Structure 1
């Protein structure tokens, strides 16, 4: 199972700067809502990924916000770990104070300030013995790792700390190749562990 498959809605960014939305439950009219917000439905191997091209970077926050507002009428089990939705008047931070990286089922983080190091410690991250990077709490499954990063990211936003998140997804092709979530439910099935979206 991919890290994008644990929540009803997952929003992220590929390394080549596509913004993507993955739906792991069926929502009536979801495709219409997302296409109306400017996303393109891209289907391959039975899996639909909704994409927003890199050239729309300055519009991503508004377009993703419109899409998410529509989806929140159906579920609160939504994760937004996209870099591109962090666009501000000065663009994305070139040197973020916190960076999270998802690699092979693990999460590491780097911090550039005392405030960001303290924040990582508050969320259970521990410093690696041989480097300046931090490891996520041990023994967590993939969904729990995603949720730890969501909470730390939301905390950083409230504290005014800039964040970059590397999901380890190089291009949309990596998403297309992933198998469809085996238990994608229909609208009306209960969602577990609702996850708050980062507020902007």
Structure 2
């Protein structure tokens, strides 16, 4: 069974109860050591690593360290965590744009006119209630992640705050893709662009 967390070499997210997690979907040199140095502990089969609930600045810096070190080995990384949202200028406002993953799709909701316009510009279509939006039809799960990352990056550049709910309430529900015992370490970086918040 596939999962939202299966589609990238490195997937960073947050559970509903405030844990930050990193999922490794392939073997990456020194990844476990890097995660341990950043304060993450192995949770399941050395493929899921957890950071307990922590202040946003701390989680932000720890995930930044992981991304910096792993970039030498892969670009196929995605960060959809909410626990790492932090700004040196002070507390973040309530998000004006929300994305919620559930049942193989994503629903977006907009709280402001600017957020409505941003979703429309990213090809989300409005629902009957006027505040929820759906992504373009026919996208697979990896493509859904991509359109959310793209819209969130656009929102960040526009000064809009974004909330993301992965539909994973607790760490026990975080899933990693099973790895064959004979998996070799691929050489060179993957082709997917890396993403890291630098708020």
State the TM-score, normalized to the length of structure 2: 0.90
Hey, what's the Cα distance between the residues in 1 that align with 2:75 and 2:33?
A: 19
Aligned to 2:47: 48
Contact 2:125 2:136 survives alignment (8 Å): yes
Aligned to 1:194: 192
Hey, what's the Cα distance between the residues in 1 that align with 2:68 and 2:145?
A: 21
The range that moved more, 127-136 or 98-107, is 127-136
Unaligned 5+ segments in structure 1 are none
User: After superposition, where does 1:23-172 map in structure 2 within 5 Å?
Assistant: 23-43=24-44, 46=45, 48-89=47-88, 90-93=90-93, 95-172=94-171
SS in 1 for 2:35: helix
Q: CA RMSD in A?
A: 2.0
- Does residue 1:180 correspond to 2:180, yes or no? no
Cα deviation for residue 57 of structure 1 reads 3.5
Cα deviation for residue 84 of structure 1 reads 1.1
Hey, what's the Cα distance between the residues in 1 that align with 2:117 and 2:73?
A: 36
User: After superposition, where does 1:12-23 map in structure 2 within 5 Å?
Assistant: 12-23=13-24
Number of aligned residue pairs: 195
Aligned to 1:5: 6
Contact 1:47 1:180 survives alignment (8 Å): no
Cα deviation for residue 190 of structure 1 reads 6.7
SS in 2 for 1:88: coil
Contact 2:6 2:176 survives alignment (8 Å): no
Note the alpha carbon deviations across 1:65-110, whole angstroms, 9 max, x for none. Answer: 01110011111111001001112243444x2110000010010001
Contact 2:40 2:51 survives alignment (8 Å): yes
SS in 1 for 2:177: coil
Hey, what's the Cα distance between the residues in 2 that align with 1:168 and 1:56?
A: 21
Contact 1:8 1:191 survives alignment (8 Å): no
Residues 1:173 and 1:26: Cα distance change in structure 2 (over 3 Å): same
